[in-house]
Structure 1
């Protein structure tokens, strides 16, 4: 079974929210990436450079609370679209099987493909309106 983690979206206050979550759960951030860290072809506007592209906070039991700010090029985060279920299977084959099965009858946002951060990644909204992300780490740990 792949790891399953909540992924939260924010409208410019992800860093504040995650500092709050860290004050409650404890620990240290595993990853903090900003939009300025993206390759030029994927960048949002310069005014969004310091916003959080991805942040990950380990919490109990090997789980992670993850999130990002939503760039202005995407729909604003509102209750209902501000959380995704993030699956982390071990193989591309398992990722493709899960993506195909769970996205059937839904809306593919990003098909499974190699991503610039070194993962095999895809996003979709299932036929029940639930947002999913599938991420397979492809670089050595």
Structure 2
């Protein structure tokens, strides 16, 4: 085994938009590779056939699925971010929750200084933590 990588499947053609948005919010993040569907291929031309991006050096793969499924993202799988400052967690939470929704509003739940769990506008679940 050479690698284990989280994989995100988008069903609404927003993989590239989501990658651009997420890499713009988190330092040391980048889109590493995008392969797009071409004319007369299985997916909609120009959408993401397969891509690799990283958030704080953690690599992810993603696609725009050309097959519609009965499922989408679930909060039971989330991206957990350990923040360094209160300003950082507050700013990131506000940006990510916009167009999405809070699962646990940002606050002090006793196990950390500040914590929030949300779903962003793309349906991806995030847990943000500011340790004590």
Structure 2 length-normalised TM: 0.45
Greater Rg by CA:
2
- The answer to which structure has the higher helix fraction is 1
Structure 1 length-normalised TM: 0.43
Q: Which has the higher contact order (CA 8 A, sep 6+)?
A: 1
